[in-house]
Amino acid sequence: MSKEIEDHRILNRSDNEPFSAILDRRVSRRGIMQGGLGVAAMTVLGGFGLAGCSDDDDAHADDQPAKTPLALAFESVKGSKTDAIVVPAGYSAQVLIPWGTPLNSSARDWNPGMKMTPEDQLNMVGMQHDGMHNFPLDEKNASSDFLLAMNNEYIDQTALWFQDGPTSDVDGKRPADEVRTEINAHGVTIVRLKKQGDGSWVHDPSSLYNRRITSATSMDLAGPVAGSDYVKTKYSKDGKTVRGTNNNCANGYTPWGTYLTCEENWPGYFIKKDGREMDDDRLGIEDENGRYGWETAAGDASEVDDEFARFDTTPRGGSATDDYRNEARGFGYIVEIDPYSDARAIKRTHLGRFRHEGCWPGKLVEGEPVVFYSGHDSRNEYIYKFVSKAVWDPADANRPGDNYDRLSIGAKYMDEGTLYVAKFNDDGTGEWLPLTPDAQTPGGKSLATALGLDTGDLAGIIVHTCDAADLMGATPMDRPEWGTVDPHTGEVYMTLTNNSDRTEAGTDATFTSGNSVEELGVGYASAPVNGPNPRAENEGGQVIRWVEPSPKEATFEWDIFVCGAASGDADNLSGLTELNQFASPDGLWYDDRGDGKGILWIETDNGYENVTEDTNDQLLAVVPAAVSQGEGDTTVIGSGNQTQLKRFLVGPNGCEVTGICATPDKSALFINIQHPGNWPADDSAATQDATKVTSGTVRPRASTVVIWKNDGGQIGL
């Protein structure tokens, strides 16, 4: 087994902390929260009913494994507002695989003045890098030679077309090849990366593993929605295939070695002028103009199989198989990709249909279900958990390389199970509400009946995931973005990035239409503060966390790990200073180092001016095992320990910092710089010093950045 496997919690569970110890620690925090927030939370003990639990904070001190939490061995970097990356002293940062890097000989060499063609872009690294994950080819070289699977979320049309567009004719129609180029700039890039002797990295343009999956690539549907009437179209009369994955934001990965790419703001690419249905409104399918006007190229003489017409989902034919009224119902899913093969990607519909930010596996326990957490990134939307029907068999654990049918294992764990949505109680507890046809709503109906569906229509529940979650009484959150799981404790962390529509306590919730959430096709336009979303007009965002007694449990307990804010803000609940103030947390990764050494990395995508006036977007680090909530604090990071949250990196002007992974030995950390304004410094170089400040104006290129310690040691420690 590879280090990769070990680091991904599958085999080495020897340092697992007993759940009773986790509970003790958390109850200790709760007691403090009780004083600080006036909430009663000690009842969680009774809720889990675990033998040996005690409300005596010290009862299990002797039983807990000794931990040696380490301080982060770098100085927090100051805020920066330049066209350059900033990293701590003793580190190097290099630009790697910028947008437009050729992946094979079918693409022309990049040059900053080139006009991209569909063929070029299909064979180059896509645009607007986002979530990513590394996949080793063998155990021995896992930290120096691996496949990177990376999302290309959307396009910057100004950079894509530079002096050449985008264009449209007098009737507003986009040229077919411009649209094809834009479609090919979206999706997923798989590319082989190799470390060189001096610590720097290159991509291997000759690797046969390199490939692109775009918003035009044909792929399969699996799970409850596959083959249902909901997804039958003129192109897919059996409802089992769909073209493309779109707006791939954060990512995930599976314990069996596949990549998960997650469809986020895809509704903006489709229009439906009339004949709109409940889910079209609930999810926000456009009614007039698609984001980039791809639908306007319909009817071009070169169009193949309605490649452009499908983006206009207005019913036009006699039935669903005569038109594309259902095309958008093929989107909004978690998509599984085997990075080691050219197998077709598979949309795993049972994990729900919404604006998926990402998807993260929970702690693995042999003989227990496999779980995946995901969030819906829109204001006042929800957090979800999928629980597999099959129980975990360690024989299914990842093994690097070819000739291994990972996607069949994916079907085993992801196509049958139960989808749940989270309800957070203000007392620090929570529960997972099932989204099944026969689940009972608070209104006393079965969920299928409440949604107006046929008895047992699980596909319908999934297509209408958000409406189903509304009806079950889920808690509206402050825009769930990334999650991550500490594989040793099972604690789940999730960023809630911000929410200007969060209202004060005591105000009424408002809805996008209608008067209540009982009316179908509506969501919360605004909602008053609640426990995990404690601030009105929330600009700073927060990182919450929760833990469950075991993967299959329907209850959890939660706390707030840190709240973003500017140092001078009145609601700076975590006591941040100029050296770690941040807002709009987005990317998140617990880097799986055991023995209390695991670092939680927090990336930002910020527009809050009290912070942007001081610094560009950034990457922060903290060792969660080294911090515990102080008396009187409402968040785990507080005035007594905030110095342990350190700023590790600042990005160039205009960017967001996103995507994160590291080699198994933690000697190289990879992040993505998305939508930089005028960076990297040399717009013609595929690899270069990421910390060099741009002079003049360049054609900006979203890029991966690899960071290493000059002494070759572990990042951060």
Binding interface with Ca ion (CB under 5 A): 481, 586, 605
Six-digit token string for 155: 């396009």
Closer to ligand FEO by Cβ: residue 175 or 284? 284
Closer to ligand FEO by Cβ: residue 255 or 676? 676
Residue with the shortest CB distance to Ca ion: 605
Closer to ligand FEO by Cβ: residue 256 or 354? 354
When CB distances are held under 5 to 8 angstroms depending on the partner's kind, the choice from ligand FEO, Ca ion, none that residue 396 binds is none
Three-state DSSP class for 260? Answer: strand
Cα angle 424, 429, 430; round to 5: 40
Three-state DSSP class for 390? Answer: strand
CB distance 183 to 177 below 8 Å: no
Closer to ligand FEO by Cβ: residue 7 or 377? 377
Closer to Ca ion by Cβ: residue 265 or 321? 265
**Binds ligand FEO by CB under 6 A, chosen from 83, 145, 327, 357:** 357
Within positions 582 to 601, which residues make up the interface with ligand FEO, using CB under 6 A?
A: none
User: How many angstroms separate the CA atoms of 347 and 262, rounded?
Assistant: 9
Closer to Ca ion by Cβ: residue 245 or 641? 245
Q: At 412, which amino acid appears?
A: K
User: How many angstroms separate the CA atoms of 501 and 507, rounded?
Assistant: 12
Q: What are the backbone angles phi and psi of residue 370, rounded to the nearest 5°?
A: -90, 135
**Least distance in Å: CB of 321 to ligand FEO?**
33
Among 353, 518, 521, CA closest to 445:
518
Compose the 309-348 pattern: x for residues touching ligand FEO by CB under 6 A, - for all others.
Answer: ----------------------------------------
Closer to ligand FEO by Cβ: residue 153 or 559? 153
When CB distances are held under 5 to 8 angstroms depending on the partner's kind, the choice from Ca ion, ligand FEO, none that residue 323 binds is none
**Least distance in Å: CB of 525 to Ca ion?**
20
* Alpha-carbon 109 to chain mean position: 32
DSSP 8-class letter at 598: P
* Alpha-carbon 525 to chain mean position: 23
**Least distance in Å: CB of 649 to ligand FEO?**
19
**Least distance in Å: CB of 603 to ligand FEO?**
11
Which stretches within 264-327 are classed as H helix? 278-283
Residue with the shortest CB distance to ligand FEO: 249
Residue that has been written with the tokens 């399969």 in this structure: 220
**Least distance in Å: CB of 362 to ligand FEO?**
21
When CB distances are held under 5 to 8 angstroms depending on the partner's kind, the choice from ligand FEO, Ca ion, none that residue 264 binds is ligand FEO
When CB distances are held under 5 to 8 angstroms depending on the partner's kind, the choice from ligand FEO, Ca ion, none that residue 153 binds is ligand FEO
653-675: b (≥16 Cβ within 10 Å) or e: bbbbbbbbbbbbebbbbbbbbbb
**Least distance in Å: CB of 605 to Ca ion?**
4
Strand order in the sheet with 600-604: 585-590, 600-604, 618-622, 646-650
Within positions 135 to 164, which residues make up the interface with ligand FEO, using CB under 6 A?
A: 153
**Least distance in Å: CB of 378 to Ca ion?**
11
When CB distances are held under 5 to 8 angstroms depending on the partner's kind, the choice from Ca ion, ligand FEO, none that residue 501 binds is none
Which stretches within 163-252 are classed as H helix? 176-185
Within positions 233 to 272, which residues make up the interface with ligand FEO, using CB under 6 A?
A: 249, 264
**Least distance in Å: CB of 617 to ligand FEO?**
13
Contact status: 377 vs ligand FEO (CB under 6 A): yes
Helix/strand/coil (H, E, C) string of 81-102?
CCCCCECCCCEEEEEECCCCCE
Radius of gyration for the alpha carbons in the chain, expressed in angstroms and rounded: 24
Residue that has been written with the tokens 């604006």 in this structure: 355
Interacting residue ranges for ligand FEO, rule: CB under 6 A: 153, 249, 264, 357, 377, 481
